[in-house]
Amino acid sequence: MAKIKGLYCILPEFGTIKEYKKFVEKLCKFRPDIVQLRIKNKPDKFFYNTAVEIKKILAKHKITFIINDRLDIAISINADGVHLGQDDLPIIEARRIVQSLKLKNFIIGHSTHSVEQAKKALNLPVDYIAIGPVFETTTKSEYKPIGLVVVRKVKLMAKEKNIPVVAIGGINHENIELVKNTNVDAVAVISVLKDLNKKVIEKLKW
């Protein structure tokens, strides 16, 4: 199974598959550890076709590919895993489907937004949990920032169960060192990727 560690890049949303491909090809030059495709308001066919093309690019670079929300698409394109939020398919059901298909090393990640949600998630058959938003962010504006103290606490809880933790939300090149000091396994970024600034992305890696 691919390790959940390092720089976890969630792709910005684009209008065309060509734009996605161009962006991912540029992003791969920076060697991210994990890439997630998250598409919210497009037809299923667009999501599927985009995922197929991105998978081809990431496979060449041996970069872990996670699909957001859509277990069906993740399975059909042979992605490395799926990331499920609080309102998505239940983790137990997702794991049951994966096991019934005898998929080996398939990753299931889960979003959490508080210590309480993290506690529950750590008792589910997950391969990693995400905690956030750490700082203010427009991507998850419905959630209040949880802060670094909560991130550190969740990481300590998860360490007992040997489950990796991904910090997410408002993380950029200016606050990355503060996040790293919580000992999380990976940091997920979205907004800071948009310009693909080499100096910025290099600062995010470790």
Average pLDDT over residues 10-27: 98
The residue among 79, 75, 112 whose CA lies nearest residue 97 is: 75
Annotate 64-81 with DSSP letters as a single string: EEEEES-HHHHHHTT-SE
Distance of CA 128 to the CA centre of its chain: 10
Average pLDDT over residues 6-29: 98
Average pLDDT over residues 85-92: 98
Determine what percent of the chain is predicted with pLDDT higher than 90.
94
- Say whether pLDDT at 119 is over 90: yes
SS (H, E, C) 28-67: HCCCCCEEEECCCCCCHHHHHHHHHHHHHHHHHHCCEEEE
In the chain, what is the greatest distance between 2 CA atoms, to the nearest angstrom?
44
- Say whether pLDDT at 139 is over 70: no
pLDDT digit string (tens) for 144-195? 999 999 999 999 999 999 999 999 999 999 999 999 999 999 999 999 998 9
> What pLDDT is recorded for position 83?
98
> What pLDDT is recorded for position 165?
98
The answer to whether 166 and 4 are in contact (CB under 8 A) is: yes
- Say whether pLDDT at 206 is over 80: no
- CATH class for the domain made up of 6-204: alpha beta
The answer to whether 51 and 27 are in contact (CB under 8 A) is: no
- Say whether pLDDT at 138 is over 80: no
Burial class, 163, CB count within 10 angstroms (exposed 0-12 / middle 13-18 / buried 19+): buried
